[in-house]
Amino acid sequence: MRHLHRIALNPIQWAATPDGWVDGSLAPDLDTVLASVADAGYRAVHIESGQAAQGAALLARLERHGLAAGPGIAGNNWTDDPAVRRERLDGVRRVGANYAAIGVEVVFLTANMPPDHPRVEHAAVGHLADPHRLADMVDILGETAEALTAEGVRPALHPHVGSWVETEEETRAVLDGVPAGLLGFGPDIGHLAWAGADPVALVAEYRDRVAGVHLKDYRAAVAADSRRERRSYRAAVTAGLWVEPGRGDADLAALDAMLGEDESIWWVVEVDQPDAPTPQESIRRCGEWLAAGRPPLRSGAA
């Protein structure tokens, strides 16, 4: 985390809903969002796929705010319909091409999490785990990674609570089942911990594949209570799972000691649900963490 130009903010706070979900329509206009990121001291911002489709127009807006395009995100989900699978891959190719056209290097690849996913209601416990579905997901994410790679971006597996790739076992299955040349690792520290993994140990094991990290701080007690009580995704979030960086239980120092010198890695700071009273205050706190320089941050060419 020592290279300032490789630390992006995902201003997802603006889209957080009171019930623990996200709704992009809640966010103000893009220039207001970008200004909040720049004012907090960040030099790069996470890019949504729809934003990437704006191409040069988006780059011009970023430049006006002194921001660079950080990593993006893409997803795919389980299906047993070959036609749907082909259609989704076509969509992924377009997403990858749009990202490549604006200079995005790393695209976090996730198993999509629609609101009606059974693991949204039964979160972080590997609900309805099935070896056959998992094998399908390895294949689906493998071909998705291949499609993204062909478009010129680096896909990185992004396990996420509420999806079919949620647990440590499922994460390992995908990473071990898809060649490293096609798929890197893009862990979300908070989501791995929420699902009961040791994020630092897992990242250490797959260190050579890490292309980016979602740095998401969390309250370990809330995560443990969530699993024990089998809370829904929304219930865990509204119980106070997420906090701004440096205010929770994530072992940021261990991650920095392991990865901090590697200038190829992207870091994306995220707070899915602000612990602060408002999105603005949450983003300001993310900026305070950045400015505190713990660990010391090094400037570089943007």
Tally the C-alpha atoms within 13 A of residue 118's C-alpha that lie toward its C-beta. Answer: 8
Tell me what pLDDT residue 3 has. 81
Residue 299 lies in a domain: no
The single-letter DSSP state of residue 24 is: G
b/e map of 256-286 (b: 16 or more CB within 10 Å)?
Answer: beebbeeeebbbbbbbbbbbbeebbebbbbb
* Per-residue pLDDT reduced to its tens digit, 170-216: 999 999 999 999 999 999 999 999 999 999 999 999 999 999 999 99
Residue 89 lies in a domain: yes
Contacts of 132 (CB under 8 A, 6+ apart): none
Residue 301 lies in a domain: no
Residue 300 lies in a domain: no
- Which amino acid belongs to residue 90? D
How many Å is the maximal CA-CA distance in the chain?
51
Q: Which domain holds residue 158?
A: 4-292
pLDDT beneath 70, residues of the chain: 1, 294-302
CA dihedral 147, 101, 35, 294 (to 10 degrees): 60
Tell me what pLDDT residue 4 has. 86
* Number of structural domains found in the chain: 1
Which pTM value belongs to this model? 0.96
Tell me what pLDDT residue 298 has. 59
Q: CATH number of the domain that 17 lies in?
A: 3.20.20.150
Phi, psi of 40 (to 5 degrees): -80, -5
Residue 104 lies in a domain: yes
Residue 302 lies in a domain: no
